[in-house]
Amino acid sequence: MRRLIVRLRNADDVSTLSKRVGVDLTSVTSLEWVRGVPDLFGDTNSYRVRTSNRSQDSSWLDMRPYRWEGMPLYRSRKVFAHSKVVITTNLSTEELIEVFQQKITDKTKSIWYPKLDRRALKGKLWKSKLPVKPRYPLYIISKGRWEKCRTAHTLDFMGLDYRIVVEPSEEKQYREKWGKRVLVGDFDTTTNSSIPVRNWVNEHCQAEKYWLLDDNINYFYILNNNESWRCKTGAIFAMVEDYAARYKNVALAGMNKLGFAKPTDRVAPYVLNTRVYSITLMDKAMNEKIKIDGQLWRGRYNEDTDLNIRFLKAGYCTLNFQMFLGDKTTTQRCSGGNTDTVYVDGDRRLKFAQSLVDQHPDVVEVVEKWGRYHHKVDWGAFSDNALIRHERVPIYDYKLYLGEYDDSTQTSSRSC
């Protein structure tokens, strides 16, 4: 017997599948379907069904707690399938393919009926009618990816300026590809980690704040009305900057990964006091408050998580935006960076996870899942860290609109 979850879009699809299966699936949530020896009437199928009239909450997210006034309109709600049936059956994979008329393997656990046609990512594009760009400089930390520095390609697509910080041994390769955008600092390259580079950037930047970006971000996206579309305007950075500036105690603000904000979920515009990784707006004045032995970043592993926890323990807040997203390639699936240096201890990442427990035993523990070890942080310990709002909050009009993908409107300078 195998278990297969089947989602359906509307009543017509339910009716069509009911005829193919041989049982009325209206209001059915669970179906046991066994095919075997014919009964007295020649029927080889036997069924056992479970029904439900459970209501589902698809109301729009209440935006009042987020004090979103003056920001672009944001709406999100839980999107449910018209119905979902959990089928337990002894039908073979070949028989299931015949019934559902789509590719099914021995490992398939969930399908849509009829087959769901995935929307092309290039259908639409977020743009601005104003030439908006970020107020603060953009730094990309890169290693071993001079040809495939995805973040640099993405920022070029958006028409934005940036700097790529690299190790001296790779300067030639990066300069041949990226020219004057490359920065080479006087930092220790023997640690096989990005921490000396991060500390160098913090000292190099003369602005009040700066963006620190990983080099494996494919595109940036804006999520609204349960749809994520690519973004071709620097307004996405400006909006994070401006919202964070409304508060006196935001130490880190950034964008979540695209895959963590599912369009079918009711997604908050941001999450307060949790991890902010990979696409991070840093505040130099607050950075000074948590330095240890004169350094902002420390250790070899989990430097992002350690930094977040130290800020939160100091009473500051973090903002992880989910309206604004980055499509970051999973670290260990992309060659270059720290993949070949930091994540190679051969202990299923036990040392990696334990190092954070050693730094913060009061809020971190080691757990084992998916065949390796992970750290688990109790972010709820910082739920009392409250945002402190400035008395006057400037409001900007970013003139965002959702246009056709093939319109190549460029952005060049900030406008409010």
**Range 199-217 average pLDDT:** 97
Longest dimension (CA), the chain: 85
**Range 276-305 average pLDDT:** 95
At residue 149, the 3 state secondary structure works out as: coil
Q: How confident is the model at residue 415 (pLDDT cuts 50, 70, 90)?
A: very low
Task: State how far the Cα of 166 lies from the Cα of 169, in Å rounded to an integer.
Answer: 8
Residue 401 pLDDT? 96
pTM of the model: 0.83
Task: State how far the Cα of 238 lies from the Cα of 415, in Å rounded to an integer.
Answer: 10
Q: Which helix (H) or strand (E) holds 229?
A: strand 227-231
Amino acid at 307: L
Q: pLDDT digits over 243-259, tens only?
A: 999 999 999 999 999 99
Q: pLDDT digits over 119-155, tens only?
A: 666 689 999 999 999 999 999 999 999 999 999 999 9
Candidates 69, 85, 360; CA nearest to 242 is 69
User: In this structure, are residues 193 and 143 in contact, taking their beta carbons and an 8 Å threshold?
Assistant: no
| Direct distance between the N- and C-terminal alpha carbons of the chain, in angstroms, rounded to an integer | 61
Residue 412 pLDDT? 36
Cβ–Cβ contacts within 10 Å for residue 120, how many?
Answer: 8
How far, in whole angstroms, is CA 69 from its chain's centroid? Answer: 24
Q: pLDDT digits over 69-119, tens only?
A: 999 999 999 988 888 999 999 999 999 999 999 999 999 999 999 997 766
Q: Which domains does the chain have, with CATH numbers?
A: 2-113 (no CATH), 124-404 (3.90.550)
Strand-pairing partners, residue 402, are 126
